[in-house]
């Protein structure tokens, strides 16, 4: 609005409508570009598999977690279920 100084003083409603129209146009173009770049479900699945099977000869980052679970905690199926879901989600190997 400041860029349109004299016009904004003469007819602020018209200038505001013009500015809002430009903002909406830029937003619509931005969303269209994002939609064009979006991967399909098959492409996302392939990308996930490709990342899991990528070459790790140059180096790989590994995290090791140790669950200190007492026998009374394992008696709760909720806890065991959450651990199993976490392991499957992040392709962890339980051992």
Report pLDDT for 36: 95
Task: Determine the average pLDDT of the residues in 89-95.
Answer: 64
CA–CA dist 67, 74 (Å, integer): 11
Report pLDDT for 21: 95
Asked whether residue 4 carries a pLDDT value surpassing 80, the answer given is no
Find where tokens 């392991």 sit: 87
Find where tokens 């173009």 sit: 29
Which position has the higher pLDDT, 43 or 92?
A: 43
Q: What is the pTM of this model?
A: 0.46
DSSP labels for 23-54?
Answer: HHHHHHHHHHHHHHHPPPHHHHHHHHHHHHTS
pLDDT digits (tens, 9 = 90+) for 18-67: 889 999 999 999 999 999 999 999 999 899 888 878 777 777 777 777 76
Report pLDDT for 43: 94
**How many beta carbons lie within 10 A of that of residue 79, not counting itself?**
13
Question: Any idea of the CA torsion for 73, 77, 78, 80, to the nearest 10 degrees?
Answer: 70
């Amino acid at each position: 609005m400041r860029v349109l100084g004299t016009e904004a003083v003469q007819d602020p409603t018209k200038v505001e409508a013009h500015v809002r129209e430009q903002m909406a146009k830029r937003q619509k173009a931005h969303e269209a570009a994002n939609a064009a770049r979006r991967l399909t479900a098959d492409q996302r699945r392939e990308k996930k598999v490709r990342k899991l099977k990528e070459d790790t000869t140059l180096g790989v980052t590994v995290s090791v977690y140790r669950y200190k679970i007492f026998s009374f905690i394992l008696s709760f199926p909720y806890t065991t279920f959450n651990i199993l879901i976490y392991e499957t989600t992040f392709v962890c190997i339980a051992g």
